[in-house]
Each structure stands twice: as structure tokens, then as C-alpha cells.
Structure 1
């Protein structure tokens, strides 16, 4: 026991750390009784009566330097019973050079920006951030130290004016877009942000020290707001949409109608619900030819599952694509039967979530979703009779999170996910505790988790995972060391995603960064990493490497990065063989890369990244090249082209089983992806958007092998099945979007797509492009209308009737 006390004292000292006091700026809001016109002019006399927030400090590139007197910033705050009003004058001695590209909402583009960051509880934990560009485009997000969530959209009003001395911003932010306590006297955390794009300068009113890893708790204070009431936060967003889908087989039309509901249960918590959801206009997935043992993971594009989900991401236990994803079961068929149709997705019937945070820092999140029964159609080859088999029953998905924040920089969370499938189908439950604790001076961090999974099916079993990380998070030199243990039966795949289990690892990182520009660099960061992962049962190394990389930006704001990764010893892949306990030996490797990204402020910009990977195996070599030029014709029109070429020579992977043998293929694989994206902004409320992608990948087998017990392999000249693969995929989206009123949008989308797969290799690029267009191209045209209704305004409509 005595030997533990000194260690405990050291850890306690590191966690308490060196107490660092930030001198907080203060500004005062002034109550207004007259109407404020949001026109970007600040011509109401009341603006002159309120205090000015000025003397901004540079965030980057020269952290801590006062803003230029030629480009000074002044901000004023007014408020009434319904909203706060922000007036900002951003001086610029060269107003003609203010960048003002017009983009879609939440896309910053190449433009100057102004933003206000509001923390209604002044707890240093979460900001509501509202930005507007010099072209008048709005961006908003929820921000924590884990990042910014721009899928969150609030309803607020803004207007900008370019003047002969700079530009002026006027904003109206209703209280319904914020969260704050019921206290008569409000004290909010606040910061103001400005980006001067042509210099790549960012300045803030309250100084943010980049040597400190935590930014939100370095905000200033907004005082003066008194005797306001939290409004009724009830928003109804009815929608209607129509689809016409056509291909060589037939043409179908579909009409949908539903509603999203957002209701503020109290000043802290919000209920979001979708009734009869429609996700038909979400972005397409970048599907690839998948020859590996694991499923391809896709981004979540459905707004309900991306907006305000910071609480639900705690512990990385949720992969929301599981909800409404492929069925969980496969049909059982006899020798004379064929699966005629197997659905790729399961229909989502409805979903709701409740989330928020109390004034004591307790965050609570609850998400529930229900999916419908789903059947596969099976044909009897002898009689042609069709039968249906249930592959996904009525299913219920639940996520529950409690997240307690404290000390303005730390948190402990409890997470539970549960999937209940009705009938004799698999159920699952996962529970986790996650902690993230920082010293008072934000100089040291200790974080980690403890998780348990429980599966309820024929196998029934519990699995465990635990992780711990300790690091220095302050200054130019930082480091961390971490370790994780995952048991064999740990399985979160019913509502989360994990690929490998039954291992333990150790990871270490050291990094150096400059905090202010030097004679050569605006930014510079060097990372050195070490990682080793051992399989629990055999003790064999599954992964073992050392890496060093550098990321930097020059004084001309061109970005350059390069690095290498070396895995000096043989490791073992326990999953490629598709047979538990049969590893495939993976040779020692070394790979290197370099990337260059020129300054996007220029009309023409270019991204380039070549890479190479060599193997301690005869003829085995990977290399690739990514090139993406972009051209901004003017503030309205931008086009981006990208091409990505990758070649894998003598790659080794599983292809089949033959009697008791595991058959591997030595194959040459080529992948070429071409994409074009572009936008034409008619104005800051109306845009045309283009996204198109052609993906082509083929794998040609040059030699088959048999996997041996020790993980090596030997040639197999008896196996003759054709396991070559040639895969093409085409996607095209052209959309028109008009935000015709706050929160209300009309979107028209034309989409076509097709894919083909063959075991016959065709190495002609032109033929592959032609074939995919001939292979039953699917056309979809859809129009969607969403209209935002605020209860506070709607009730006045009825009073006038």
C-alpha cells in the first residue's frame, strides 16, 4: 500500500496541474425597446448607447498579436424580450479586396467571416456558434472541445453590407436558438470571431492561447441581459416530396409527406422527432470493390442522425447507419431455391431523440428508432413459386447517455445502447463508462473507457473492452501514451461498428508544433508515433509500426505534408482467412507519402499526393497518385476535379475454400476514381450543385495459393476457378436548392446511377465507362418542399384571424 501512495500523489499533482487564470474580457448588452431592422446598416440610434467590444487578438497565424489598426473590429450587443442583436463593424483599408465567395449554407468557402460564440450557461463546455460571410451566407454549429457540428441548424436572421471602410454585419438571434438558465440576471460566455481570408488571419475578441488545448473556456463574459424568459421552443417542419424513378424495366412514381418536430421540453432539453421520414435526397455513398473481410463503412448523411449528436458519439458505440441499414439475417434456402430479391435497407418507421444539459453540467441524451418488418423473396427453381422469408423483424433501437461535465474542461459519461428485435432474432446490449479529465491549467489529460457488450442469441455471450490514455496537452512539445484491451467476445455491431477483437495494444505519440510563424512557416507540426498490437490468444503481433510525419503551411499559405511508416517485422492478420484461428502472415513493409495543397485563395489551386509502399515479398508493391485541381471562376462558380489512381502488385487475399483448403489469390489490382463537383450560386439563398463520380477497380489473379498453418502459403496449381473481378460504379447528382424563407427550403434533384460487376477483366477505360452507362442506368427526379413553422409566430397568425 505504501508503494502506491507516491504514484497516486504524482498522478493527482499532474491532474490538478498548474492553476492558470485567464483574464476574461467583459462586455455589456443594452436592452432595447424599439424595433431593430436587420439590414446591415446599424442606423438605429440605440446602437450608439451600448458598449463596444474591441481590441481583438490574433488567433492565427501570429497567436497573441493585437489586430491591425487598419483592420480593427468593433462589436455591439442589444437585446429585447425575444432575441439578442449583434452589430459589428469590421474595418478594412482595402474593401475591394474583401473575399466574398457565395456558397451553400454551412460552407465557408473563400470569404471573410464574422462569428459570435455563445455559451448560455458559461460553463466552458459548449458553444452555440453563428457565422456570416461577407457575401451574406450563414453558417451555424454546436461546438465542444471534440469539434464543431455544422449539421445543427438554427433559425436566425442576418444581413451584411460592404462599405468604403470595410463591412458591416447585423444579426438577430432569437432566444429559441439558444440554451440558457432561468436566472433573472444572465451571465453568458461569449467570444467574437473574425476571419480575414486573403491573409489567412483569424482574430478573436477574447484571447485564445493556442498553447492550451481547450479553447471554449477561454471566452469572455457577456453581462447586462436581465429579466428575459426562455421562449416556447416548438417548431414544426412539415414536408412533402415526389419521386419519379425510371430504368429499362419500368417507371415508378412515389409521393411522400411527413413532419419533423422540435420541441423545447424546458430551458435545457429538446425533443426531436421525425414522422414518416424521407431520406431520398441524401448524398450517395462512395461504394468500392470490397475484397477484404470486413464490411465497408459509410458516412452518415441523414440530417436527423447527424444534427446535435455530440452526446450520442460518446465512447464511439454508435454507428447510426445500422438503423435502417441492411437486414440482420440471411434467408435459409434449399438446393432448388434462389434468392430473387434481398433488400439493401430496412424502412425506418419513426425516430425521436431527447437531448440537453442542465445548469449543473449534466447532459442527458435519449434516442429511439423503430424499423419495420422486412422480407426476402425466394423463388423455387422447379415450380417458379415465390415465397417470402422474414429477414428483419420489427426492431427497436435505443441509445441512452448521461454526461457529467465539471471544472469547465472535464467529463464522465455513461452510455447504453440496446437493440431489441421481436421474435427469435438476435438482441444486443452494450454499456460503457467514458472519462476525460483535464488539469485545471489544461496542461495534462487522462482519458479512457470501460465497455461491456452482451449478445442474446443462440451463442449468448459477454465481451469487454477498456482503454486508458495519459498525455501532456500544453505547449510546443506534447506527448501521450495509451493502452487498450479488447476481449474475444466484445461485439458492438448491432448498433455500433468494430472489426477486430481479442487483442491488446500500446500506443505512444510525441509531437512538436510552432505556436507562431517563423521565417519559413505559418504553421509546422511534427508527429512521431509508435504502435504495437498483440493477439490475446497466441501473443502474435497483429500490427506493429513506427511513423513520423510533418504537416506545415508556408508563409504563402500553401500546405505541405510528408511522412513515412515502417512496419519492420512480420505481423499476422487473423481475419483475412475467414477462419478463426488461421492467421495470414503479413510481410514487413515501409511506405512514404507527400502531399501539396496550394492556397485556395487563388482562383486556381491544386492538391497532389503521391504515395508508395514496399513489401518484403517478391514482386509486391503498392503505389498511388491523387490529383485534384480546382478553379474558382468568380464568387459564384467553382469547379473541382479529382482523380485517384492506385496500383497493388502481387497483393495477397482470400478468394475461396476448396475442400479443407483456404485458397488465397496473388493478384494485381488497379483502382481509378474520377469525380467532379461544382456549384453555381445564383445568390446567397439559391444554388445549383453538381456531384459526379466514376469508380473503376479490377483485380486480376496471377497465382493461387493454399494457406498453411503457420500463416505462410504455398502455390496451388490445381485451383482453376475464375476469381477475377471487374467493378464499375457511376453516380451523378445535379440539384437546385432555394432557401426561400428562414428554415424553409425547396430542393429539386436529378440523379442517375448504375453499376456492373464481371469476372472478366476489361482493361479499356473507355469500354468500362461505356459499359456502365449501358448497364440499365437508373434515373431519379425528385422535388422536396420543407416549410419551417415557429409556434411563437404561428399563434399570432391565429390571433389575427
Structure 2
């Protein structure tokens, strides 16, 4: 019934949308000409066929003066043959010496003169490939999905070149038709536009008027037509790889024994493949993938009761995954598929995904991944087993047995299936199912009662099923919209029961439900607004294969915004936003979990520098997650903050930005008020187009309300306020020899300490009576809870694309942590990296070779 209601609502919305004003790009038709002879992609346009191609020069400004004539002339030509689409853009410039030709690694977001091509070959007005080349010849690509969401994760193998010419520069593209999905037709008509950035003027031009004020991109594109007798190509791509790695690591797992060290060599063989099953359906897969070239996650200090969300960086899980993203984009409140659940603890044996269009207007996606691997729980570290082993659970990996993980590798199968159906020209409805299935037997109550380090592997599994219906309904111009999701979950496998942070008991087979909705005016000049509501039952658990920050919560919110993205008076852009919300539990107690508001405003100055300010507060409520998974509500501490944000124009040789924030934690019973703050500053220097240095510093001081220390029994809890300081220094260095040969270095030094005390006792009862700060009673206790952490991560990557799509990586990584503080000694209250050089270190050198073959 729910799905039927959703489809009916979508059809009604589509009828309303079809009556809306037609987007300005819909009436533009540009024609491509068939190439007469071969085309060499070199940025020179010296073939005769380019001289005969139709020329379009009717570009308009997209920013900063939307709809106005551009400051420089731009010429567009489009050719095609049976294998490629060729695009040439001649960018005239009255001051060619000022053209920004900054260099960077492929897919880097360079602030430079550049040209972007947007292609919607299925003509569904929702999805568009983006191909970019800058004046230095650096390529990047990405994908628009859901009409307005953009992802840089999509990658394809295509060619481009940039070349100088008198009074400007030329961008030349060759995009293989095998890379694109398009239907069979006598004459192809695709969504299409081309954008040009003139960096020194912060000017953006486009072939169609597609202003920043709209809440749509793909549905506002113009059209490319005239391509006759093109046949969709069932391409096959194979990318085998060979990786050799050696790791130097401490022999003992005890951090107090950093020496001696062992050298563990290993080798991996793997394969990535892509196969076009039909003109609109592609199968992509990987066997024994290796992601050694991927940068490590940023080190952070998370002392909250909530899991941190980290972005996906692994190529297989970033490419072509836009269909699996939740409504509203990544990081939504209830995400059914979070790919980082796969393969971070247990190696991936193999994975495959099927994506494409089954009938016009209906997209499908199917992903399946199997994780498994060898491990040893009982290891003799005094006499390590140096025998080289080959294991059936990881047959394409060879390495010494002493390097096997000691934590159990839980075999799991992950499945995600999604379908999206287009409604009208700008809306869609869909649904998703995910399954995280343990490939183990059941866990008995007796096994679950053992200590975790003794439990059999089947008790360590965290499986679950989830399903959702979602919708994204918009007027045709994208200004008004209604989007959201309704979802449900079921617990599978693992221990018979476990307790969540808020005291909810989750048993095998338990189900939960939830959802979220947003409705309002999301586009247009001037005032915008939206209403939102998030709901999750106590037993909604999407985290087996998705990401859900919390459950047992009902959280309505309101946003009021004033947006002038095309400028206001002397300002190049201006925005003001007010947001307010509250939340309470859904377990029948309706415990207020707190209310909040914030107001922020920012402006882009005539110099294209940005300044902004934000104020806000968290008021009232109770924390039901803090006290040892009992669900006893502990009073929240009220706070207010002020932040200042500055970002300078990136077009300068040296640029900087960041924010400074100060907040006030108010009186919390016996705990006095306190000031805290954050400083995040970065600076980037480009002394040469091929060199870039970026330094970032982050300082944080947080004064926590009384935190849980120990459960004393009889509903009594030991609590203590906590003061933490942390610092992160990050250095990034880049040297670009050529756009296809780059050297990058990344280093992060992270330090933090925490100081507890004094100590208090809070008392509740069997009815889980709330604990007020004013009721806390001081107690005497020796402080053994302070901590001091220091860590260093270093990553150096040499990347050489020695032929189109084929790469050679040489990667060096270093990870080190401080030597442990001696028993009985109080950790230092300092951000200095004391003890780091004496601590345990891991060094790894990886050489990875891959070869691209396509037909």
C-alpha cells in the first residue's frame, strides 16, 4: 500500500511539474558533424575535419553576472565517428599570459582555466557525465545524479589535451562511445552543455543559461543532436594488477615493545573488469582488490557516543555508486548502504555490481560483495611462523603466516539492490534493499556469554536486512520539492541479544522502522525554506550495511534561507540561513534529547574573498546514550557558540582560509561554566604551476559535561567532567612532472590529551529516573583516567599513467604512535608529541602495476 501511495503521489506531482515553466536550456539544439578522417587528440585542431565542423559561440555567463555576455569569446565544435565523440573548445583570451595553467594529479579539483563537458546520453534529465580538462592538460571527471547532486567519484578512461594558440588556448576531448550508455535510435539526441572557467576573473560561462539560483542542473541542459547511425557498444574492459608489498612492523603486539621489528613481504594478484551486457546495462567486478594507493583516513579524536562518518576513497566503491546514495546525497540521516562496512576489517574476496537502465526511465543497481580471509587467534609472538602461506579463503594473496590478523575475520556477504523510476521530467521514486548476511553458523547463548576475545566467530558477526522506499519530487524548474525516505530493518545473525547505547535491547530477528522527509522551496533567487522531520524507532538498525548515527529519535526541524548566489549590490554572492530543531525519544518515554538553533550569513566580496559568521546554541534535553547502555537520562549541558569564517580568492599564488569558533558551556550543577573553542586554518602556496604546498592546522579545546566513568551498581554511576585539547597538523605536497606523472606526499601529526576530575556520583533507580547535574554528589577517587595520545601518518605516492588507463604506483606509508605512559604515571597535559619517536612504528613499501585493456 505504501509503494502504491508513493507512485500515485509521484504521478500527481509529475502532472504539476509538467505544467511548470520550461527550463531555459530545453529549446537549444546543437548539431554534431560526422568526422571526415581520423582525429588526433593533441590540442591543435589542425585536421581539416575540424575546419568543416559547425561553430557555436553563443556562450553566456553563469557567474558572476548570470545571463550577461561573456568577457571573452569561446568557440565550440563537435564531431563524432563510430567510436568516439570529439569536442573542441577554443578559448579566446585578450590576456593570454594570465591564463591559469596550474597542474595537478588526475581528478584533482584545480582552480584554473578549464573546460567542462556535461553529457546526458540517456536523455533522462537526471544523470550527466562530466568531463573536464584544464589549460595545463589535467583531466578530471564526475557525475551529476538526481539532477543536482554531484559526485567526483565516477571515473572513466577517455582522452583529452590542452594546447596553446595565439590569443588563447584549446581544449580537445575524445570520449569513447563505449563509455556512455545511450539507446538505439536512428538519430541520437542527448542532453548537453559546455562550461568554461576563466580563473582570474572568477567567471563561469556556459552554452545554455543554467544559473546557480536553480535547484536543477541536468534537466536544464541543452541538446546535442545530429549523430546518426550510432550503435551502442558492448565494451569489455579488463584491468589486471600485480602488487608487491613489504611491511616492517614490531614483532610484538604490545605497544611497550616496539623492538625488534619483522619484515613481512607479500604479493597480490587481482583483476577489475567491466562488461556492457546491453546498451544500457553494465557489469563491473573485482577480484581480490588492493587499495594500497588510497590515502589513509584523517586522524580525529571522537569521544562522543556516536560513530564518525568517513568518506569512501576506494575506487571500486566510488565509481558508479551514485544510484546507491540516499535521497539528499551522501551523509543523509538514514543511509541503507555505506560501502565502508565492506572490507575494512575482513579482506574482500570479490565484488560485482550491475547498473543501468532496464526500460526508459527506470534505473537499476545490484551490488554483491563477499569478504573472507585467513586469521589466527593464538599466535606465538616469541617464535613467529615465517612460513609463506597460501590460503583458500584468500587465494590470490601470498605472505608469511605470522602476518595474518589475530582478530577474527568474519566472513560476510553484502548485497544491495536499488530501483529508481522517473516521474515526469524532474522527479523520481524508488526503493532499495540491503542485506548483510554472516556466512557462519548461529551463536548460542553459552557462546555469547564468553569474553569477546574468546567468542567464536559466529558471535562476532553483525548482520541485518533493510529496505526503503524513497522519493524525490520537484517542479520542473527545481524550485519546489518534496523528498524523503521510509525504511525498515531486521537484525540477522550475531549474538542472541545485545544492548545499544540508549539501553534498547536488540535481539536476533528484531525489526525497526523510520524515515525522513524534507519539503519546501529549494531553489530560486531570494527567500527559500524547508520543513524536515526525521524519525527512527528504538530498534531501527541500519548499520549492518548502512550508516545511521542514532536511533530512538524523533527530530523535526525548520530552515529559513535568503540566497543570492548571483550577487547582491557590490557582493558577488550572499546567503543567510536560520535553522532550528528539537528531538525526543520514540521509546514511549518521550524524553527530550535537546533543542538547537543556528544562524549563519556569508558573502563573497568584490575581490572574490569570502567572509561569514555563524552563531548557535544547544539548549536543554537529556542524553540517553551516556550511562553505560542503561538508557538512564543524564542532563545535557547548555552551550552557545560564535564562529568566524574567512576564505581568500583561490586564484592567488598564495591563498588561505579557515574558521575560528568560541563557545560557552554554562553551569552544570557543581561543574562551573567554561570557555572552549576551535581553530582551523589552512594555507596553500603555488610558487609554480607544477608545485603546490598546503599546510593545515586544527586546534580544539572541549569542556565536556560530566561523563560516564564507571557503573557502581544499584543504579549508581561514577561521573567526571572532561577537558580535552587536540591538535592536528597536516602537510600536503604535490609535484606534477606531467599531468600523468605526479608525486604526492601527505603527513599528519595528531596529538591529544584528556584531563578528568573532580569525580561525582549520580543516582537513578529501576524506573530510570533522570539524573540532574544539581543532584550529583562529590566523591573521592584516584585519577587513573587521563590520557595522552600522539600519532603520525605519512604517505608518499608516485603515480604514473604510462598509457591510457594503465598505471604504476609506488607507495610508501609510515604510521607511528607514542610509547605508552608508564603504569602509575600521570599522562602529560600537553600537545607536544612526547614519546612519539620511541613508539611502535609500521613502514610499508608498495609497488602496484595495472594494465588497461579495452575492446
**Pairwise same-fold verdict (TM > 0.5):** yes
Q: Which residue of 2 aligns with 1:480?
A: 530
* Structure 2: runs of 5 or more not aligned: 1-8, 250-259, 328-334, 385-401, 443-457, 497-506, 765-769
**How many Å apart are 1:706 and its aligned residue?**
2.0
Q: Which residue of 2 aligns with 1:257?
A: 269
- TM-score norm. by structure 2 comes to 0.85
Contact kept, 8 Å, 1:507 with 1:532, in 2: the verdict is yes
Partner of residue 438 from structure 1, selected from 474, 480, 488 = 474
Q: Say which is worse superposed, 469-478 or 98-107, in terms of deviation.
A: 469-478
Q: Which residue of 1 aligns with 2:583?
A: 533
Per the alignment, in what secondary structure is the counterpart of residue 188 of structure 2? coil
Over residues 25-68 of structure 1, what are the superposed CA-to-partner deviations in whole Å (9 max), with x where a residue is unaligned? 21111112311122211122222222212211111111111212
Contact kept, 8 Å, 2:301 with 2:726, in 1: the verdict is no
- Relative to structure 1, is the Cα distance of residues 697 and 243 closer, same or farther in structure 2, using a 3 angstrom cutoff? same
- Relative to structure 1, is the Cα distance of residues 233 and 619 closer, same or farther in structure 2, using a 3 angstrom cutoff? same
Per the alignment, in what secondary structure is the counterpart of residue 211 of structure 1? coil
Q: Which residue of 1 aligns with 2:211?
A: 209
* Structure 1: runs of 5 or more not aligned: 1-6, 326-344, 793-801
Q: Which residue of 1 aligns with 2:657?
A: 607
Q: Say which is worse superposed, 316-325 or 144-153, in terms of deviation.
A: 144-153
Q: Which residue of 1 aligns with 2:703?
A: 649
Matched, 1:675 2:725: no
Partner of residue 734 from structure 1, selected from 792, 796, 799 = 796
Q: Distance in 1 between matches of 2:285 and 2:12?
A: 48
Q: Which residue of 1 aligns with 2:323?
A: 311
Q: Distance in 2 between matches of 1:647 and 1:473?
A: 36
Contact kept, 8 Å, 1:24 with 1:206, in 2: the verdict is no
- Relative to structure 1, is the Cα distance of residues 9 and 201 closer, same or farther in structure 2, using a 3 angstrom cutoff? closer
**How many Å apart are 1:523 and its aligned residue?**
0.8
**How many Å apart are 1:512 and its aligned residue?**
0.7
Matched, 1:637 2:695: no
Over residues 108-153 of structure 1, what are the superposed CA-to-partner deviations in whole Å (9 max), with x where a residue is unaligned? 3231001211111222111111110000011111212352222222
Partner of residue 487 from structure 2, selected from 451, 467, 473 = 451
Per the alignment, in what secondary structure is the counterpart of residue 51 of structure 2? helix
Q: Distance in 2 between matches of 1:590 and 1:362?
A: 47
**How many Å apart are 1:221 and its aligned residue?**
1.2
Q: Which residue of 1 aligns with 2:543?
A: 493
Q: Which residue of 2 aligns with 1:595?
A: 645
- Relative to structure 1, is the Cα distance of residues 389 and 10 closer, same or farther in structure 2, using a 3 angstrom cutoff? closer
- Relative to structure 1, is the Cα distance of residues 561 and 777 closer, same or farther in structure 2, using a 3 angstrom cutoff? same
Q: Distance in 2 between matches of 1:252 and 1:390?
A: 18
Q: Say which is worse superposed, 84-93 or 144-153, in terms of deviation.
A: 144-153
Q: Distance in 1 between matches of 2:11 and 2:688?
A: 61
Q: Which residue of 1 aligns with 2:42?
A: 39
Per the alignment, in what secondary structure is the counterpart of residue 43 of structure 1? coil
Per the alignment, in what secondary structure is the counterpart of residue 441 of structure 2? coil
**How many Å apart are 1:79 and its aligned residue?**
0.9
Q: Which residue of 1 aligns with 2:52?
A: 49
Q: Which residue of 2 aligns with 1:122?
A: 123
Q: Which residue of 2 aligns with 1:139?
A: 140
Per the alignment, in what secondary structure is the counterpart of residue 325 of structure 2? helix
Q: Distance in 1 between matches of 2:356 and 2:236?
A: 15
Matched, 1:712 2:781: no
- Relative to structure 1, is the Cα distance of residues 764 and 429 closer, same or farther in structure 2, using a 3 angstrom cutoff? closer
Q: Count residues with an aligned counterpart.
A: 758
Q: Which residue of 2 aligns with 1:301?
A: 313
Matched, 1:699 2:754: yes
Contact kept, 8 Å, 1:56 with 1:73, in 2: the verdict is yes
- Relative to structure 1, is the Cα distance of residues 581 and 285 closer, same or farther in structure 2, using a 3 angstrom cutoff? same
- Relative to structure 1, is the Cα distance of residues 516 and 389 closer, same or farther in structure 2, using a 3 angstrom cutoff? closer
Q: Say which is worse superposed, 391-400 or 89-98, in terms of deviation.
A: 391-400
- Relative to structure 1, is the Cα distance of residues 11 and 194 closer, same or farther in structure 2, using a 3 angstrom cutoff? closer
**How many Å apart are 1:8 and its aligned residue?**
13
**How many Å apart are 1:702 and its aligned residue?**
2.2
Q: Which residue of 2 aligns with 1:461?
A: 510
Q: Which residue of 2 aligns with 1:546?
A: 597
**How many Å apart are 1:443 and its aligned residue?**
2.7
Per the alignment, in what secondary structure is the counterpart of residue 836 of structure 2? helix
Q: Distance in 2 between matches of 1:668 and 1:59?
A: 48
Partner of residue 174 from structure 1, selected from 173, 176, 189 = 176
Contact kept, 8 Å, 2:722 with 2:757, in 1: the verdict is yes
Q: Distance in 2 between matches of 1:450 and 1:113?
A: 41
Q: Say which is worse superposed, 574-583 or 639-648, in terms of deviation.
A: 574-583
Contact kept, 8 Å, 1:747 with 1:783, in 2: the verdict is yes
Q: Which residue of 2 aligns with 1:746?
A: 808
Q: Which residue of 2 aligns with 1:799?
A: none
Equivalent residue runs for 1:262-281 within 5 Å: 262-281=274-293
Q: Which residue of 2 aligns with 1:423?
A: 441
Matched, 1:26 2:53: no
- TM-score norm. by structure 1 comes to 0.91
Q: Which residue of 2 aligns with 1:395?
A: 412
Q: Distance in 1 between matches of 2:22 and 2:794?
A: 53
Q: Which residue of 2 aligns with 1:796?
A: none
- Relative to structure 1, is the Cα distance of residues 388 and 27 closer, same or farther in structure 2, using a 3 angstrom cutoff? closer
Q: Which residue of 1 aligns with 2:499?
A: none
Q: Distance in 1 between matches of 2:135 and 2:53?
A: 24
Q: Which residue of 2 aligns with 1:188?
A: 190
**How many Å apart are 1:92 and its aligned residue?**
0.4
Cα RMSD, aligned residues only: 2.5
Q: Distance in 1 between matches of 2:611 and 2:407?
A: 53
- Relative to structure 1, is the Cα distance of residues 109 and 356 closer, same or farther in structure 2, using a 3 angstrom cutoff? same
Partner of residue 686 from structure 1, selected from 732, 735, 741 = 741
Per the alignment, in what secondary structure is the counterpart of residue 178 of structure 2? helix
Per the alignment, in what secondary structure is the counterpart of residue 107 of structure 1? coil
Contact kept, 8 Å, 1:653 with 1:664, in 2: the verdict is yes
Q: Distance in 1 between matches of 2:363 and 2:570?
A: 45
Partner of residue 198 from structure 1, selected from 186, 192, 200 = 200
Contact kept, 8 Å, 2:292 with 2:811, in 1: the verdict is no
Partner of residue 620 from structure 1, selected from 674, 677, 696 = 674
Contact kept, 8 Å, 1:27 with 1:51, in 2: the verdict is no
Per the alignment, in what secondary structure is the counterpart of residue 436 of structure 1? strand
Partner of residue 787 from structure 2, selected from 711, 722, 725 = 725
**How many Å apart are 1:413 and its aligned residue?**
1.1
Contact kept, 8 Å, 2:63 with 2:211, in 1: the verdict is no
Over residues 653-694 of structure 1, what are the superposed CA-to-partner deviations in whole Å (9 max), with x where a residue is unaligned? 222223343222212211111110110111111111010001
Q: Distance in 2 between matches of 1:295 and 1:10?
A: 39
Partner of residue 507 from structure 1, selected from 557, 563, 579 = 557
**How many Å apart are 1:552 and its aligned residue?**
2.0
Equivalent residue runs for 1:350-429 within 5 Å: 350-358=350-358, 360-372=360-372, 375=375, 377-378=377-378, 391-421=408-438, 422-424=440-442, 425=458, 427-429=463-465
Q: Say which is worse superposed, 290-299 or 428-437, in terms of deviation.
A: 290-299
Q: Say which is worse superposed, 583-592 or 634-643, in terms of deviation.
A: 583-592
**How many Å apart are 1:249 and its aligned residue?**
2.2
Q: Distance in 2 between matches of 1:166 and 1:12?
A: 45
Q: Which residue of 2 aligns with 1:150?
A: 152
**How many Å apart are 1:651 and its aligned residue?**
4.2
**How many Å apart are 1:533 and its aligned residue?**
0.7
**How many Å apart are 1:767 and its aligned residue?**
4.9
Q: Say which is worse superposed, 634-643 or 248-257, in terms of deviation.
A: 248-257
Q: Say which is worse superposed, 170-179 or 716-725, in terms of deviation.
A: 716-725
